[in-house]
Amino acid sequence: MSNINSSFNHKKYRAYPSIPKTDRRWPDQSIKAAPLWCSVDLRDGNQALIEPMSPSQKLDMFKLLVDVGFKEIEVGFPAASAPDFDFVRQLIEQDLIPDDVTIQVLTQAREPLIARSFAALKGAKKAIVHLYNSTSTVQREQVFKKSRDEIKTLAIQGARWMQEFAAAQSETKWSFQYSPESFTGTEREYALEVCNAVINVWQPTPDNKVIINLPSTVETSTPNVYADQIEWICDNISHRQSVSISLHTHNDRGCGVAASELGVLAGADRIEGTLLGNGERTGNMDIVTMAMNIYSQGIDPKLDFSDMDRIIATIERCTQLAVHPRHPYAGELVFAAFSGSHQDAINKCMAIDAAQRIEKPETQWQVAYLPIDPRDLGRTYQQVIRINSQSGKGGVAYILEQDYGIQMPRWMQVDFSPHVQQHAERSESEVSATIIHDIFSSTYLAAQKTASIDNYQLNRQSNADSLEAQILDTNNGAVTINGQGKGVLDAFVKGLSASIGSDIVLIDYSEHALPSKKGAENEQAEAIAYVQLSVQGARYCAAAKCHDIVTASLQAVLNAVTRSGATCQRSKAELAAV
C-alpha cells in the first residue's frame, strides 16, 4: 500500500526511552501476596462514561465494591461536581460506609478545591484525600507553561493546605495520597524530586504512612520499562518504610494489567483500577483480571468474584457498557469450548478431576484449556461446552450427560456427532442443549413409535435362554418373536433375524440408570440402553428408555432394526388368526 499522501505515518512518533538500569531485580521476583486494592470505579470510571452514573447507580456500585471486598474505594471528585459532593455526603450522613472501608476523594492542588473536598468529608470516620498535579514535560511546557520549580511549588503548597484542613477536622482519621499525574511522561529524577518534596511536608511514619501513587496516565511504553521506573523510585524515594507505593495504570497499549503486575514485582504495594477496566480512552487497569490472575496462581486475591454474574449485571446496569463476551474471566464465552478437540480434552480431564476429588477434595486443578475452575466464578459446566459446526463428538456427549444424564458410549458418540454437525451447518448458529437432545431423541428413540415391545416371556435354561416377545408394529400389527440364545439379547436378535429374514449381529451394547427427575424421588429409576447392530452388513445405532432394563434393551435392538428399514413379519399362525 502506497504511503503517498497518507496520514498513516510512523515517522511522527519516537520510541519511549528505556532506563539504563544494571541492577534490576524485579525479573527474578514473583507475586506472593495480593497488593492492597483501591477501586476508582466511582471516580475515574464514572468520569469516562457517556452518561455518568445516577445517584442510585452510584450507590449500587458502592455496595457491590464493598461486597466484593474492597477496603479502599475512591468515591468521587467532590470539588469538581455537585453530584459527586452530594454522593460523598450521602455515604457519610446515612452511615453507609463499613468500619473496615476507607473512602477516598480526589482533588487538584488548589486551595478552594481542597477546602471543598474536606467539606464533603466532614464527619467521616476515616478518609484518604488524594492530591494531584501534572508533572509531565508536555503539560508543563505546553499546557501550564510553568517551570519545574513552579510545578513543584504547587505540589508542596497543596500538601500544606491538606495538612491545615485535616487539622481543622481532627475527628476524622486522615490519610494523604499524592500523584504526580502523567508520571510516565515525567523525567524520573524530577518526579522523584516532587514526590520527596511532598513527603517532606507530610513527614510520614511507619505507623502513619502516606501513599505515593505513580500513574501511567497515558500508557506509552512496554510494561518492563514501567517496572524499571517503579523499582528505581522504590530504591530512591525518601522514607520508603513510611510510604506506600501505589500504581494507577491505563490501558492505551493494552498492557495495563501487565504493567501493574510487573510494577508489583518491582516493589509496589497498592493498585488502583476499575472492575473490568472501564476508564478513559481504552480504560483503566482491570482489577478483575489482575486479581483473578493472582487467584489462578494459588494466591488469595483478597477480593471475592465468586458471583461473577451479579458483578457483570451490576456493572452493565450502572455503566451502560456491555461486557465483551471474550473479556478475561468475566465474558460469557471465556470458558466456552466450541472446538471438537478442545471439548474432548476438557471432557476427559474433568471426568478425572471429579473422580480424584471424591477421595481428595484438595486436588489441584489440572484441566486442559481451563486455567481455573469455572465454578469458582459461579459459572456452570453447561457454559463450558458450547456446540456449533466446529464442535466434535466429545462436546456433544458432554452436553447430553450434564443436562440429561445420557452417557453415550464412544461408538454412539461417533455415530451421533454428524447428525448434530449437519444441524449446526444448516442453522449456521450455536446448537442448544435442548436441540441436541431433540436430535438424539429423533435419531435413536423415535423408532419406538412405529414398533414397540408389548411384553415378553423369558425362560432361562442351562444351555440357552428362550425368549418370546410380542411386538406392536404400526404396519404389521402384533408380531411374536421367538428365539434362543446365550442371554436375552442374543435370543431376541436371533428371533428378529428369523422374522425379518436378514442377518443381524449385535456389535455393541451399553446401559445405565438415568438420574431421577425432580419430585420423583420415590419412583423407580428409568434406564437407558444403547445398541449397535449389523443388519445385512450395515451398522445401525439406537437407544431406548424404560423403567425395566430388559425392556429398554429389547426396545433399543428393535429401534436399531427399524432404523435399518427392516420390518418384522407375522408368522403363518398369526396371519391365520387374523
Binding residues are: 44, 248, 250, 284
Question: What angle do helix axes 111-120 and 82-93 make, rounded to 10 degrees?
Answer: 30
Q: What is the pLDDT of residues 489-526, one digit of tens each?
A: 999 999 988 888 888 889 889 999 998 765 555 566 79
What does the pLDDT read at residue 385?
54
Percentage of residues in the chain having pLDDT higher than 90: 66
Cell numbers given for 109: 492542588
**Per-residue model confidence (pLDDT) at position 425:** 81
CB 572 within 8 A of CB 477: no
Tell me whether residue 121 is exposed, middle or buried, using C-beta atoms within 10 angstroms of its C-beta: 0 to 12, 13 to 18, 19 or more.
Answer: buried
Model pLDDT, residue 411? 86
Would you give the DSSP letter of residue 43? I
Contact partners, residue 246, CB within 8 Å, separation at least 6: 38, 177, 211, 212, 213, 214, 268, 269, 270, 271, 272
**For residue 8, what are the contacts with CB-CB under 8 A and spacing of at least 6?**
none
* pLDDT level of residue 572 (50, 70, 90 thresholds): very low
Confidence of residue 568 (pLDDT cuts 50, 70, 90): low
Q: How far are the Cα atoms of 181, 281, 315, 321 from residue 49, in angstroms, in the given order?
A: 21, 10, 12, 9
DSSP letter string over 423-467? HHHHHTS-B-HHHHHHHHIIIIIGGGGTEEEEEEEEE--SS-EEE
- For residue 320, give the amino acid letter: Q
Task: Calculate the dihedral angle through the C-alpha atoms of 77, 81, 83, 88, rounding to the nearest 10 degrees.
Answer: 30
Tell how far CA 437 is from the center of its chain: 27
Q: Could you tell me which residues are beta bridge partners of residue 207?
A: none
**Mean of pLDDT values over 107-117:** 97
Reported as a pLDDT band with limits 50, 70 and 90, residue 578 is: very low
Question: Which grid coordinates are listed for 332?
Answer: 460469557
Taking 60 as the threshold, does the pLDDT of residue 3 lie above it?
no
Q: Residue 389's pLDDT is what?
A: 47
Residues 6+ apart with CB under 8 A from 434: none
Q: Where are the domains of the chain?
A: 37-319, 340-445, 450-514+525-577
CB-based contact 49:36 (threshold 8 Å): no
Query: Does residue 336 surpass a pLDDT of 80?
Result: no
pLDDT at 574 over 50: no
243-275 per-residue burial string, b: 16 or more CB within 10 A, e: under 16: bbbbbbbbbbbebbbbbbbbbbbbbbbbbbbbb
Residue 455: left (phi > 0), alpha (psi -120 to 50), or beta?
beta
Position 387 scores a pLDDT of 54
Mean pLDDT of 162-168: 98
Rounded CA gap, 178 and 211, in Å?
6
Q: Supply the pTM of this predicted model.
A: 0.74
Residue at grid coordinates 457498557: 321
Residue 390's nearest CA partner among 344, 340, 426 is 340
Instruction: Please tell me the predicted confidence (pLDDT) of residue 149.
Output: 96
Higher pLDDT, 15 or 402: 15
**H helices present in 35-147, as ranges:** 46-47, 55-68, 82-93, 111-120, 137-138
186 burial (CB, 10 Å; 0-12 / 13-18 / 19+) is buried
Report the relative pairing of strands 270-273 and 451-459 from DSSP bridges. Answer: unpaired
Q: Average of pLDDT values for 480-485?
A: 89
For 302-379, where are the E strands, in sequence order? none
Residue 273 above 80 pLDDT?
yes
* Model pLDDT, residue 522: 53
The pLDDT of residue 390 is 56
- Report pLDDT digits (tens) over 409-437: 888 988 898 888 888 888 877 788 899 99
User: What CATH superfamily classification does 37-319 receive?
Assistant: Aldolase class I (3.20.20.70)
CATH 2.60.40.60 fits 450-514+525-577, yes or no: no
On the question of pLDDT at 64 being above 70, the answer is yes
Average pLDDT in the 41-59 region? Answer: 95
pLDDT category at 386 given cuts 50, 70, 90 is low
State mean pLDDT over 296-316: 95
Evaluate the CA torsion angle 363, 359, 528, 491 in order and state its sign. Answer: positive
Known binding-site residues for Mg(2+) equal 44, 248, 250, 284
Using CA atoms of 299, 302, 304, 306 in order, give the dihedral in degrees to the nearest 10: 10
- pLDDT > 50? residue 577: no
d(CA 202, CA 222): 33
* Mean per-residue pLDDT over the chain, rounded: 90
- pLDDT category at 575 given cuts 50, 70, 90 is very low
Please state which of the ranges 55-64, 159-168, 427-436 shows the lowest mean pLDDT.
Answer: 427-436
Give the residue among 555, 567, 561 at the shortest CA–CA distance from 540: 561
Asked whether residue 98 carries a pLDDT value surpassing 80, the answer given is: yes
Beta strand segments in 235-368, E: 243-249, 270-273
pLDDT at 4: 58
